Structure 1
Amino acid sequence: MNSQFWLASLVALAAALPAAADTAPGDVAYLDGAVAESLSGVAGDPAAGAKVMTTRSQGNCVACHQISAMPDVPFQGDIAPALDGVADRYEEAQLRGIVANAKMSFDGTFMPAFYKTTGFIRPGDDYTGKAAPEDLPPILSAQQIEDVVAYLLTLKE
């Protein structure tokens, strides 16, 4: 009976605690382009990050970047820096900032902001020639950003 009481108490306490919430795109804190805190509060999964990076409807990072660690991925781009050894060049917070919004780190970059919802000057409302009536959704979710960062951290020389 006593153990059931404690178990019920623990379940009630766990239910009362707030779940880890994603940082909203507008609330991301950039410091010199870097983002120190996880956007999702959950560790990234490198395998899921690799999938995001090679999936056309998601990040599709390989459209612009070459990644030698992915030799089976065809049609890798060469218009952006190769990602080989990127974990040796940047810290986790810097990589998170670059993936979320590279424009915060590199002036004039053509890399899209993957975690941004406002401030666009080109996207319109379904090919009408008019500005979108509200904020656009981010290209990637907070967890997808964390997954991509986790994969990038595996790319060492």
Structure 2
Amino acid sequence: MWLAAAGLTLARAASAQELRPYTITGDSIAESLTGAPGDAVHGRALVLERTSTCILCHSGPFPEEKFQGDLAPSLAGAGSRWSIGQLRLRLVEASRLNPATIMPSYYRVDGLERVGTAWRGKPILTAEQIEDIVAYLATLRD
């Protein structure tokens, strides 16, 4: 059993309550962190927010965004490549899949190195935000 978080916006993630439990099975987290599906519209907005860092490294089907990253795979077709549970694990703790990844663990607070003072002991994203982003990424199909 691993642990997870609570809150509503990126600003509120810094004052998150306690982390919510989750279970990693194989290469995924099958169960929603919140017990409910996320909001794909809000998830898209989070992906495009520079503070969530998604498009700093990833590109995708976002024609309105002129500056998209090229350090990581495109998010186009993410919903075709990975299941919802696989997407969730990639956001929660990508290092479980690739220990050398540069992708942050967005919903983990233990065992991390080089964490900024403002983020120590706090997840980058809340459980709700993770679920919203997962809901959006799942809509991106080839």
Tell me whether the two structures share a fold, i.e. TM-score over 0.5: yes
> How far off is 1:142 after superposition?
0.2
What is the percentage of aligned positions where both structures have the same residue? 38
- Structure 1 consecutive aligned stretches of length 4 or more whose deviation exceeds 6 Å: none
Out of 74, 78, 98, the position equivalent to 2:90 is 98
Out of 35, 44, 50, the position equivalent to 1:41 is 35
Q: Is 1:100–1:115's contact at 8 Å kept on the other side of the alignment?
A: yes
Uncovered stretches (5+) of structure 1, i.e. residues with no partner: 1-20, 127-131
> How far off is 1:33 after superposition?
3.1
Aligned residue type for 1:156? R
Aligned residue type for 2:44? A
Q: What's the RMSD between the two structures over aligned residues?
A: 2.1
Equivalent residue for 2:141?
156
Aligned-partner SS, 1:39: coil
**Alignment of 1:63 onto 2:56:** yes
Taking the TM superposition and a 5 Å limit, the aligned residue runs for 1:10-25 are: 25=19
Taking the TM superposition and a 5 Å limit, the aligned residue runs for 1:1-157 are: 25=19, 27-57=21-51, 59-68=52-61, 70-123=62-115, 125=117, 136-157=121-142
> How far off is 1:54 after superposition?
1.2
> How far off is 1:123 after superposition?
2.2
Q: Hey, what's the Cα distance between the residues in 2 that align with 1:80 and 1:40?
A: 27
- Worse overlay, 138-147 or 82-91: 82-91
Q: Is 2:88–2:134's contact at 8 Å kept on the other side of the alignment?
A: yes
> How far off is 1:125 after superposition?
4.0
Q: With structure 2 as the length reference, what TM-score do the two structures score?
A: 0.81
Aligned residue type for 2:21? D
Q: Deviations over 1:92-144 (max 9, x none)?
A: 10001101111112231110000011111222546xxxxx9xx5110000010
Equivalent residue for 1:11?
none
Aligned residue type for 2:38? G
Aligned length: 127
Q: Is 2:75–2:140's contact at 8 Å kept on the other side of the alignment?
A: yes
